[in-house]
Chain A
Amino acid sequence: MARAQSLDKPYSALPESALASGGNCTSFQFIPESERTIPQLVRSASWRELETVGHQLVKACPDSAIGYHWIGVSYLRRGRSFAAIRALEDSLRRQQDAGAHLLLAEAFYELGQKQFFWEEIDAAKSMTPQESGIYYLAGLFCFQTEQANEKAAEWFRKALDRNPKHLLARCYLALCLEAMQQYKEAESTLLEAVGSASQMSADTITPLQILVSLELEMNQPLDALNYAKRAAQITPHSEKVQLALGKAAWATHDQTTALAAFKAAGDLDPESPEPHYLLSRVYAARGQDQLAQQEITIFKRLRQLYHGSFE
């Protein structure tokens, strides 16, 4: 099965930069108010409300970039890439801003538009060369859109040089290293992110999941199982986490844990083919041929829907 390589939405930009500059809006009524409300709206992901504030700012200061900037952010975070591009270009026509360039790059990334993406990355980089988000997004584009692992790893390293706490840059760097079969380096990159076994933060879920598959690839199933159990403690209701736990348990010949985890994964996402295939293997190993056959039948049906003809 192909490994999922999309970890999260690549929120990368500098949303505060336009606010800090005030986007050259001189309205005494709106700027102090928006300085207070906008960060709150961004933190609570209240994108529709952010759009409303953006429109109020445009009305109050039509020649200013700030309203367009936040309308652009609001559209981008709601998946409206084309409208976001329009608003952010409106913002940049009024004031040059690295954050707006980076947000634009993100919108072009979503639309897979290579030339415009790199134009915006270059513009953002020339304005704020120390901003880690620029290098992270560039790495993401190389990794996902161009499948250029080596080039992507370089960008992710640059992002981490500027911000060692950039968790997603670290995770993607590990994925690049894994793809380049540099397993040991990938492992140490991730271990820095997951911290000690007692650390049970939700932030560690992604690196833990990557670690599980990495350890399995490195033929270290006991380590894989430890990380998988830790991930399952933090997020028990995730299909991917349960699937990883099942695989790690299966590799350590712990059929009971594997069976429970694959069943849980299948229940959490009934349309995913993989848990059914893995369940069939566990049932077959336990001599439960009828159940194994049932699971294979479900697997074939779902596999065909997702991946075309099965054979």
Chain B
Amino acid sequence: MAHLSNSLSWLLLVVSPLSAQMIVQPAGKSVPQAKTREELDAFGTVMDSGSPQAIATAAKRFRDLFPKSEFYEYACVAQMQAAMDLLDTRLAEQTASTVLNLNPNNPEALLVLAEISLTGFTSETIVDAAQVERASEHARAALDRLRALSLPPLSEPHTWLRTKRSMLARGHLALAQVATLQGRWGTAEHELQTAIDLTPSSKAYLLLAQVYKQTNREEQAQVAAKEAGLFASAAVAH
């Protein structure tokens, strides 16, 4: 899962825009306050870390040192995303559960749990129906929470909207994967089109090509596969 580019994206939605490392008040909430400058600096180290490994280490250190911090949930999310980048799904799942204990409405943790549940399934593998159902529940819950999120005051609207669109797309993509595994091709196609409308990606186009193939639409499958290739090369070039 190519999570690197999305690292810390959820923080952008709620304490946006951290791309410019500016914390603005999330709608209806207050900005987390550090009790000491050391605490703020330790959180800053998480934000400033470049690689997933460095983020994971800094986030763990932060959690160990400042378990009562108002930034604790944010550090957990950073650690969870880093774990996904490092393909450590066990740690990611564990951290996602911690995040959801702190905040059951955290959409990034819900999305990660949906994505973890779907990891490793292909249309050819034997499907664990209960696991797929869990993925579907998490993705739906994430989409519900995301849809309700509104632009925090003073945040940069374009960056915020781009992040929200990208996360909504991940939710729809997860639902498309669920539908594909259950052979519900119409639903899968609809979810994929929605995901592509929100934020086109090679993964969504690839899955769409698969749906077209399964429903005997060879020509459309080829077009979708070509789009997938274009997005994959663009991502590599980027």
Contacts and interface: CB of A to CB of B under 8 A. Distances in A.
Interface of A: 2, 5-6, 79-83, 85-86, 89, 110-116, 144-145, 271-272, 304-309
Given A80-B48, A82-B44, A308 B21 contact: no
A306 B161 contact: yes
Nearest to A80: B21
Contact of A307 (B19, B20, B150, B158): B150
A114 B47 CA distance: 20
Interface string B143-164: 0000111110110011001001
Contact of A81 (B22, B24, B150, B153): B22
B151 A82 contact: no
A107 B164 CA distance: 26
Contact of A85 (B41, B149, B151): B41
Interface residues of B, number: 30
Given A111-B40, A307-B150, A82 B45 contact: yes
A116 B147 contact: no
9 closest Cβ pairs, A-B complex: A82-B44, A79-B20, A112-B31, A81-B21, A307-B150, A110-B22, A308-B150, A112-B23, A308-B148
Contacts of B165: 305
A82 B21 contact: yes
Given A111-B21, A112-B25, A112-B33, 7 more contacts: A82-B40, A82-B41, A85-B40, A110-B22, A111-B23, A308-B147, A308-B148
A308 B151 CA distance: 8
A51 B94 CA distance: 40
Q: Is the interface of A mostly helix, strand, loop or mixed?
A: helix
Interface string B24-46: 11000001011001001101110
A307 B149 CA distance: 7
Interface hub of A79, A110, A111, A144 (most chain B Cβ within 10 A): A111
A113 B40 contact: yes
Contact of A145 (B25, B41, B150, B164): B25
12 contacts: A80-B48, A81-B21, A81-B44, A82-B43, A82-B47, A110-B23, A113-B40, A116-B37, A144-B154, A306-B150, A307-B150, A309-B148
B157 A306 contact: yes
